[in-house]
Structure 1
């Protein structure tokens, strides 16, 4: 017997690919940022030590995107970060690089028609909606 389940098409090869709204992406970032402020408060004063929540955010992105393809904020807003070329996970190294680039902010605001910021294009990633 053959498997009749449809094989997902990678975003790069899908002419009908539609990225999730910027509102969902921003909502996920706000949720993740609040979590990072709370976590960094355990070992530093986020107001005095501005590096602490940024460090936690970079590490959160590296671990959660690398292993699960979504951060807690992305889970709540039903989006994922996948490989543009094959639709799989981006892995720990690319997720870490994506987190560092996201912390620089500027790459995130320069987007293409698929709402891929420079941080996405440099790491070969894309944000997609999560099926219900």
Structure 2
């Protein structure tokens, strides 16, 4: 028995792909970044912050310890806040071909998000949980709170 499509069962005009509601492209530059690139960028940023913390504390990364762990997290926070807020992306974002853009009234803006948005994003990423709860536009709670979205360059 052939089934016919019922009204309302397919993708709505409002949501056809991640970023559609924000006026972003479906794929290519300016489209919402995929999870693989975003996770790789995060790991690169964490590694860079760890290397700097290792140099500052004089301890190797694998040694750990309270002073190293605190330095590592603090450096990651500062680096993420400043770079994503003022430059539109961290070192990991740049390496992975990503950028952070602000969203205002469901439209993206070409300028960097600003330092306050960077601080909000970085703080909530450091808390971890907000970064793993996301909407259908692939915006985590940290992006929603900072009114940003990560897109491909």
What TM-score, normalized by structure 1, do the two folds share? 0.83
Structure (1 or 2) with the larger CA radius of gyration: 2
Look up the SS of the partner of 2:56 in the other structure. Answer: coil
Cα drift, residue 64 of structure 1: 0.8
2:44 is the alignment partner of 1:59: no
For the 8 Å contact 2:87–2:112, the answer to whether it is kept is yes
Spell out, residue by residue over 1:22-78, the C-alpha distance to the aligned partner (whole angstroms, 9 max, x if none).
000001011111100000112224510222111111101111112210111000100
In the alignment of these two chains, the number of paired residues is 121
Instruction: Tell me the residue number matched to 1:128.
Output: 151
For the 8 Å contact 1:12–1:84, the answer to whether it is kept is no
Question: Kindly tell me: are residues 15 and 32 of structure 1, through their superposed partners in 2, closer, same or farther at Cα, counting changes over 3 Å?
Answer: closer
**Map of 1:9-20 to 2, 5 A cutoff?**
13-14=22-23, 16-17=25-26, 18-20=31-33
Cα drift, residue 124 of structure 1: 0.3
Tell me, in whole angstroms, the C-alpha distance in 2 between the residues paired with 1:13 and 1:114.
Answer: 8
Tell me, in whole angstroms, the C-alpha distance in 2 between the residues paired with 1:110 and 1:93.
Answer: 21
Instruction: Tell me the residue number matched to 2:137.
Output: 114
Structure 2, unmatched stretches of 5+, are: 1-18
Look up the SS of the partner of 1:61 in the other structure. Answer: helix
Tell me, in whole angstroms, the C-alpha distance in 2 between the residues paired with 1:15 and 1:53.
Answer: 34
Instruction: Tell me the residue number matched to 1:25.
Output: 38
For the 8 Å contact 1:11–1:84, the answer to whether it is kept is no
Instruction: Tell me the residue number matched to 1:37.
Output: 50
- Superposed CA RMSD in Å reads 1.9
